[in-house]
Structure 1
């Protein structure tokens, strides 16, 4: 008489670690070709906050993603301030819309550095941004760069924080430029300015 055989034990599959997606680095040729290009806004009507960069960098122009250059602190500051439940990658920018957040720029063309923009470009960008805000009617516009705001909107004495002048029903805030080149702000102090905006809107 044959002995009953034991049922085979399931073999556990090895757990594969979840690795972060590494950004694809544009080639030198792609970065050169990205100069003066434009990328689409991440925007829609009725947002909580429309974040506004100065203009796209070459990494953004090459990838089509806002604040794409490694070292830019926009995405970690957005998370640390409580605007997002986790730190998003630039290629996940479309998910911001579900949180009532969007991204645009004062000036549309991509450059290696923001100081390549002329004052006329910034003023024209400020006028176009005003029209955009009046059309989309976000609760708040957050311009990320005090110099660009002063020039683009003719507010020479403006300081970081909520501005006394809104655009229609939209509050206007100026937040620090999140570029890694902005040594006046650490990531923690940058996130604190973002947090002040979020807390003000929640009140």
Structure 2
């Protein structure tokens, strides 16, 4: 696994997605396999299913099926680490700027950043909370959802799936017009 340190994995993305999910950065398991949220115990894939985003629980090796469902995955910071706290604040801010450009190019309906601390640092929003953010990126809504890592003891799988469900329901409705 240590050989995966600092490796990168490609985004699963396409223009015009309903939701572009954004992890903090790949873990070593993901770096080693080239698959997002690949570590056993990560709750991303179960939360997608329980929230109704996917008709069944997909496996990390099925991540290529997501764009057909209007979903994609990217990361704030590209390099794989054992823990997200190994990233510097500068890396998160640089990743946030790159993410804004990616979102402007791909124009998803919503960007869902999975991790409040990373979002606060990457976007300079110290008081941000879970849920839809008041500031979007162009026409893209920005949401912050809990980190699905098994290390996040603040949210059970059911609570995590409930936050994902709120996002799913919001993007199922036609966009609000000013």
Q: TM above 0.5, one fold?
A: yes
Match 1:100 to one of 70, 74, 79: 70
Question: Does residue 166 of structure 1 match 2:119?
Answer: no
- Normalization by structure 2: what TM-score? 0.97
1:201 to partner: Cα distance: 1.3
Question: Does residue 133 of structure 1 match 2:103?
Answer: yes
Match 1:111 to one of 73, 81, 100: 81
SS at match of 1:75: helix
Residue-by-residue CA offset, 1:6-35 (whole Å, 9 max, x unaligned) = xxxxxxxxxxxxxxxxxxxxxxxxx11100
1:202 to partner: Cα distance: 1.5
1:146 to partner: Cα distance: 0.2
Question: Does residue 85 of structure 1 match 2:55?
Answer: yes
Match 2:120 to one of 134, 146, 150: 150
Match of 1:9? none
Give the Cα separation in 1 of the matches to 2:145 and 2:2: 29
Unaligned runs of 5+ in 2: 174-178
Give the Cα separation in 1 of the matches to 2:2 and 2:169: 40
SS at match of 1:194: helix
Give the Cα separation in 2 of the matches to 1:189 and 1:155: 23
Question: Does residue 200 of structure 1 match 2:174?
Answer: no
1:85 to partner: Cα distance: 0.3
Residue-by-residue CA offset, 1:135-169 (whole Å, 9 max, x unaligned) = 00000000000000000000000000000000001
SS at match of 1:124: helix
Unaligned runs of 5+ in 1: 1-30
Show the 5 A alignment for 1:40-79.
40-79=10-49
1:43 to partner: Cα distance: 0.3
Aligned pairs, number: 173
Question: Does residue 33 of structure 1 match 2:17?
Answer: no
SS at match of 1:45: coil
Give the Cα separation in 2 of the matches to 1:103 and 1:199: 19
Runs of 4+ in 1 over 3 A off after TM superposition: none
